[in-house]
Every structure is written in C-alpha cells, then in structure tokens.
Amino acid sequence: MRFCLLCTLLSATLSAQPTPESATDAAARTARLEGQVLSQAGEPLRKATVRLMPYGTSLPNAVSYVDTSDARGNFAFEAVSPGRYTLDAQRTGFLMQNYGARIATNTYPGSVLTLSAGQVVKDLSLKLAPQGVIFGRVTDIDGDPLPGADVRLLRVYHSRGKRGVSPAGGTRTDDQGSFHIANLSAGSYYLAAEDTQSRIFGNTEGMLPGRAPSRLTSVLTYYPDAVDAANAVPVEITPGTELRGIEIRIRREAVFSIRGLVIDSTTGKPTPAQLYARLKDSPQIGFGAGASPHSDGTFEIRNLLPGVYVVTAVTNTTADPRTASEEVGITDSDVAGVKLTLTPGATMAGTVKLEGDGPPVHPIIFLNGVDGTENGSHTQTNDDGTFELHGIAPGKYAAGVDRLPDGVYMKSVRLGGHDVTRTKLDLTSGVSGTLDILLSRGAAEVLGTVKNNQGEAASGALVTLWPKGRGPETVWNGIPQSPTDQNGEYRIAGLVPGEYYAIAWEEIEPNLIYDLDFLKRFESQATALTLEQGAHQTIQPKWISREDAAAEAAKLP
C-alpha cells in the first residue's frame, strides 16, 4: 500500500511538470530574420557586426540582438520577440549602415522592421560604403609644422532659420604637424585648427626686456586660412575618398581680453564658477573661450578677436545652480570692469490634471530654452499631481510633458491663469504664478503607407507632421514623426487634435524638420489634414526626394 501511494505521488509530481516548449511552438510565437552584408560592389563582407535593436517603445521589456556575418556575409537572428526594430551593420574600414537608409549616417534611422509572431524575413541586404579619410597638416604662418595642434571637423547645420557649423569630430596633429580623420561619410565638411601649445603657454613674443608686448597670437583658423567660418572653404568627401594635401595655415591676429569680477548675489562674495565667452549670433556652435575666476573673484578671458560676446558665469553645483550673463563688445582694446552677479535660478510650482476617469499619470514636466542660451529644467510630478521646477534662469522657454501613456495628450498650459499652450513662456523678469497643465485622453493618430515617385512602397522614408498656422512665436512640443517600415507603412500616435501638414522625406538633415522657413517651402505639396479628438486617420503623404529637400535647404540664408 505504501508503495502504491508513493507511485501515485510520483505520478502526480511528474504530471505537474511543465511540458518543454517545442521548436515549432517557439517559432510560432517569435520571428526569424536573415540577410547578408555586402560591399557597395556586391562582394560579401565577413566579420561585420550586425545589430537588431528595438525601435521606440513598442517593446516594454526590449532586448537587442547581435550577430557576426560569416564568410559569405550571411547573418541570422532567431527567436526574435514581435515588435518594431532597426537593423544596422558595421565593419572596420567601412561606415556603419542602417538598413533602408540611402546613405551611411548616424542621424537617420532608415527603415523600421515590423516583425510579427511566426514571421520569417529573408534576403535582407546591407551594403556598406567604404569610409572617407582626410589627410593633412597644420602649419604656422611661415609654413613650419605645428605639432599638438587641435584639428576640428565641422558640418553645416540649420536651426531657427539660420545656417551654421557644428563639431562633427576631430583629432590632434603628430610631431610632424600631420593629421588624419577617418570614418567619414559622404558630404561637405569644414576643417578648423588651433595651436594648442600657444593656448597653453601663452604668447611669449615681446616678453623679453626692452621689447614691447605684442597682441598678435595664433587664433582658431578655418581651412585654408580664414578666421571666420563664413569664409571657410568646404572639402567634399565621397565614399572611399582619401583626400590628401590639405594644409591649414594658422593665422596670427590681434587679440584682446575681457576682465572683471564674479560675485554671489546673496553673500556679495566670490564663489566658484566657470566662465564662457561666445560670439553673439555666431554660426559657430561648440566654440568659445573660457576661464575660471581667481579666489578673489577676478577673472580674465583671453585671446578674443573683436566682436560682441555673451559672457556667462555658471556655478559648478547642480543642487543650487546660479548664473549670470552680460553682453560685452570688443573693438581694438581690452575690456575691464565687467561685473557678473550670480543669482539663484527661480522656482516654478505647478500642477498636472487629467480629464476624465482612469488611473493617474505622472509625466515628466520640462522647460526648454527657445533662444539657445537658457538652460532648461525638468522634474517628475508628485503623487498628487504637483511639481516644482528649480534653477530657472531668466529667459524664454517652451513648456512640455514627456512619458505620457498611450492616448493621452497635453491639452492646455496656463501660467498665472493665462493660456500659454502654444506660446513662449517669457520669464526674463522672473517667475510669476503657477504652471497648470491639463492632460486629456483621446489623442489622435495618423497612419498609412508612403509610395515613392515610381509608385513603389517607400521603406525608410521619414513622415513628419507640423501644425498649421505655426509662426515664429508659436511653440509646439516637438515635431511628430515616424520612419516607414519595410512595407512603407508608418504610424504616428499621441497627436494633439488640430490642423496639420504631413509629408514624407526620402532623406533630410534632422534639424530641418524644425525649421519653419524650410517647412513653408513645402506646404503646397504637403497633405493638409484636420484631426478630431480620438481620430484614427489614414493618409498617404507625398514623398519628397533627397535631392529636392537639399535644393530647398541650399536656399536658406
């Protein structure tokens, strides 16, 4: 009897064990993807790293997948969770390539791959372009090599209707004054160089007894020998280019200093801070001179060319940030007596409320500076929907929310009882009143398919929407956008009800989709639509070629 009872217990235990999932069941719940990595000439590339990564928030517990191409360039991903993904490949000597992107670039996602349970995607092809390389040297005004010089690579950007240059990489010259910059994609670049040794050790000319000090010193110089980005000469890179013979001859110019005092507004005493001086309205992003004040609060920012500068002091503490800013003009002499009084940033209190029934939401509230000089602030709401934003410097801002659940949108924003939903928050004179944000359910969405000029599904296009009636003083919480997947399909959700334009770009510089002057050039070709509360609208926006977008961008000032 005891034996039979043991048999019964054992049998019950075995029957309670989970049945191992068969390969067929696993394949039915997941997706499989395979393809090949090739050179642009169509030759298989082995040892390429291929990555399949989640796109957006379609996968709450998202994981990435990595494989290495074999001798025939083949790769495969098994048991992939259903969802939306991006695919890219990279290999030494070649540029990283996003699947579906027309050119190799890190700023464009290419096609999104939409994978469903049981789906098998075959014959994907990733063609890698060979990298471009620039070889050159930096010399002084006499043509002698400059070792240890900083070389900066720059690209054109567009922002707020203006064209400028921003850093895109760089290097330092060797002991022979030579340099090379690799891993370059096709396009136009600018080069600039600075004599690092002169910056560190200063100008020694004129320091000998009996010799008058000289203001001439080495300054940041753009290829081939310009001190202003507007007069720089671009260099063109095509896939596989090895551009040689580039020489940047460092200019010597008269430079000046800004001297002054930094104090704290509360104590009236010096306080640790970092100082920066940048040319006002300059197209040069990422450039400027800096300094730290002495223990007595005095400072000197050196080696500045004539011009109007914005001098900013910022404390090094994040808990209680304090800032000060002053415009200073330099003509033909040093400027002294500049006083920067560090003041604490203001605190803004606010509330978030959600219309209708449903679980509470606790989004991220943020303020973004709209003039390019203000530091932003962000925080998460408390359980009761209240929040406080700290360290807000005087300036103009846009208020927004992030991490909203599906179907919820920001309906209105009021500051001190005044509607500021689509306008800048003018805080140049400080904060007055609370910031009250009203959220609502019933956000709209737009979906559809994009076709190119040949009537084919356009994978890897970027669909963007922008509001009708948007003006220079109008503020919107980002530009709704989505890349198309391998079938040319897209979906943009969480939209504020209202009137929009919609368009699909084959390839576009990222900043241009925020440029009002650029967008206005395409309003006649865009699809106009009106989205009601909770709308689910299907449209096929017009496809704009990369060449047409670039032609209009070239007309911007």
What is the DSSP annotation of 28-52? HHSEEEEEEEEETTS-B--S-EEEE
Distance CA 511, CA 481 (A): 13
Residues 244 and 150 in one domain: yes
pLDDT tens readout for residues 44-56: 999 999 999 998 7
Average pLDDT, the chain: 85
- Name the more confident of 524 and 160: 524
- Name the more confident of 211 and 215: 215
Residues 194 and 171 in one domain: yes
DSSP class of 513: G
Distance CA 446, CA 495 (A): 8
CATH code, 408: 2.60.40.10
Residues 157 and 120 in one domain: no
8 Å CB contact between 75 and 34: yes
pLDDT-derived band at 21 (thresholds 50, 70, 90) equals: low
Whether 62 is in a domain gets the answer yes
Whether 4 is in a domain gets the answer no
Query: Which of these three, 200, 234, 253, is where a domain ends?
Result: 253
Distance CA 278, CA 288 (A): 5
Which residues are CB-neighbours of 352 under 8 A, at least 6 positions away? 361, 362, 363, 365, 381, 385, 386, 387, 401, 437, 439
Whether 318 is in a domain gets the answer yes
Q: For residue 392, what pLDDT is reported?
A: 86
Query: Which of these three, 69, 98, 128, is where a domain ends?
Result: 128
Residues 49 and 120 in one domain: yes
pTM summary value: 0.75
Distance CA 392, CA 365 (A): 13
Residues 398 and 449 in one domain: no
pLDDT tens readout for residues 315-358: 866 666 788 889 999 999 999 999 999 988 888 999 999 997 77
Query: Which of these three, 225, 253, 281, is where a domain ends?
Result: 253
| Tally of domains in the chain | 5
Residues 144 and 244 in one domain: yes
Which residues are CB-neighbours of 208 under 8 A, at least 6 positions away? none
pLDDT tens readout for residues 395-433: 888 888 988 888 899 999 999 999 988 888 888 888 888
Whether 66 is in a domain gets the answer yes
Q: Is the pLDDT of residue 506 over 70?
A: yes
Q: Which of 66, 90, 85, 84 is nearest to 76 (CA)?
A: 66
Q: Which helix (H) or strand (E) holds 14?
A: helix 2-16
State which residues form the domain around 301: 256-343
Residues 272 and 328 in one domain: yes
Residues 351 and 317 in one domain: no
Pairing label, strands 386-392, 346-354: antiparallel
Residue 231: helix, strand or coil by DSSP?
Answer: helix
Strand order in the sheet with 425-426: 377-380, 364-369, 396-402, 425-426
Whether 17 is in a domain gets the answer no
Residues 245 and 148 in one domain: yes
Residues 401 and 484 in one domain: no
Q: Which of 391, 368, 369, 366 is nearest to 381 (CA)?
A: 366
pLDDT tens readout for residues 82-102: 988 999 999 999 999 999 887
Residue 385: both structure tokens together: 């929907």
CATH code, 146: 2.60.40.1120
Q: Is the pLDDT of residue 42 over 80?
A: yes
Which residues are CB-neighbours of 547 under 8 A, at least 6 positions away? none
Whether 90 is in a domain gets the answer yes
DSSP class of 488: S
Q: Average of pLDDT values for 127-151? A: 94
Residue 31: both structure tokens together: 């997706």
The neighbouring-strand residues paired with 389 are 348
Which residues are CB-neighbours of 203 under 8 A, at least 6 positions away? 214, 216, 217
Residues 140 and 59 in one domain: no
Residues 437 and 458 in one domain: no
Q: For residue 2, what pLDDT is reported?
A: 44
pLDDT-derived band at 285 (thresholds 50, 70, 90) equals: low
Whether 158 is in a domain gets the answer yes
Whether 10 is in a domain gets the answer no
